[in-house]
Every structure is written in C-alpha cells, then in structure tokens.
Amino acid sequence: MTAQNNRKRLVGKVAIVTGSGAGIGRAEAMLFAAQGAKVVVNDIAVKDGTPIAHLVVEQIRAAGGEAVANTDDVAEFQGAERLVKTALDAFGGVDILVNNAGISNFLPVHELTERDWDRMMAVHVKGTFGTIRYAKSNHTTLGHSRGKLCDHRRCRLSGPEPSNRRRDLRGEVEVGQRIVPRPIDSQMLFYILH
C-alpha cells in the first residue's frame, strides 16, 4: 500500500448513520470512523437491555475513533430533529448523512398488515425526509460541495433532477455500495441465502 492509500480520507468530517446498530449501517459507521470521521450512531434497537447504538460506539472508541450514540426514532420528525441536534451538539455540524434505517418484513404482500406497511413507510420515507430536512435546515454542509448524502433506497429529496442520483464522486449523492463494496453479514443476507 502506498502512503496515499493509508491516509484517512474523512478526518474533520461529521457523519450521521441511521440504522447503524447492525448490518450494513454498523459497517458504514465503523468504516467512516476508521477513515477519521466523527460518527453519530443511530439505532432504536436494544440487545440484552443495552441500546445497540451504545455497543457500536464502544467498538468505535475502542478502535481509536470518535462517536456518540443516538437512540431516537427517525420515523418521527422530533426524533430526526434530535438526531441532527446530537451531531450539532457533539461535533458542531453534519457533513455526511447516511439514511440506512429500514424495516424489512419478509412476508408475502397479502400477509402484510396496514400497520406493518405504515411503519415501513414511516421509517423508509418519512425517516429519510426528516433527517435531510433537519440537517439542511440547521445550516450544515449537507447539500453543499463538502456535504454527502447516502441513501440505500437511492431517494433524492434535495434536488430536481433524478439523473443526478449517481454523482457519487463529485456531487451530493453517494451510493452505499461504493462505501461498502463487499457483502455484509445481516439478517437480510441470511434470509436470502437460507
């Protein structure tokens, strides 16, 4: 490896990763921290009485990174607002926002209840919109030449042209697969493979 390959590319950046307690989100949070970013780890899940966001923060800190946990539900505007406030209070800004939080119900469509559907839409759509809305309204660098937006659902809520979705090297949107180019051990992968 050359010295350039060893250089941390995200020093001085602040990243929020929703749904980063496990799977792809956790891998993204760990990678951002390894690359020098200060990371806000967001997840609502709890394991053995401990919020999993706190467990990921402990792992990042043990590896020498900087991170804080947030357990707010991004499906609620107040939760999205508190998540952005966590980044602002802890690190002074937001440069990178990864909307990774999501719910997957591996049920046939005819077995999904209205409540299941509403919860998925709240997390996937409203959660994405809320985090972007509050990050942009709090004068962060998100959406400017320094800011990045990553969304696994490839939604672009901050611009008029759908053709701009893949401007991953120079533009505002970074596609998640560029960040994590290898398979991540997750519940979804387990379900697909078994």
pLDDT (tens digit per residue) in 41-99: 999 999 999 999 999 999 999 999 999 999 999 999 999 999 999 999 999 989 889 99
Q: How far apart are CA 52 and CA 126, in angstroms?
A: 22
pLDDT digits (tens, 9 = 90+) for 177-188: 333 334 445 555
- Inside any domain, residue 68: yes
Query: Does 2 fall in a domain?
Result: no
Q: Which domain holds residue 35?
A: 8-193
pLDDT for the residue numbered 7: 80
Residue 94: which CATH number?
Answer: 3.40.50.720
- Predicted pLDDT at 1: 39
**Is 66 a member of any domain?**
yes
pLDDT of residue 162: 39
Q: Is 3 among the domain residues? A: no
Burial (0-12, 13-18, 19+ Cβ within 10 Å), 111: exposed
Is there a domain that residue 32 lies in? Answer: yes
192 vs 19, higher pLDDT? 19
Span 121-133, average pLDDT: 91
How confident is the model at residue 186, as a pLDDT?
A: 56
Considering the chain, what is the average pLDDT of its residues? Answer: 77
User: Is pLDDT above 80 for 6?
Assistant: no
Instruction: Tell whether 1 is covered by a domain.
Output: no
Strand-pair category, 14-18 with 50-51? unpaired
Do residues 20 and 26 touch, judged by C-beta distance below 8 A? Answer: yes
- The model's confidence at residue 176, banded by pLDDT at 50, 70 and 90, is very low
The pLDDT, as a whole number, for residue 185 is: 53
State how many domains the chain has: 1
Predicted confidence (pLDDT) at residue 119 exceeds the cutoff of 80: yes
> Looking at residue 161, what is its pLDDT?
38
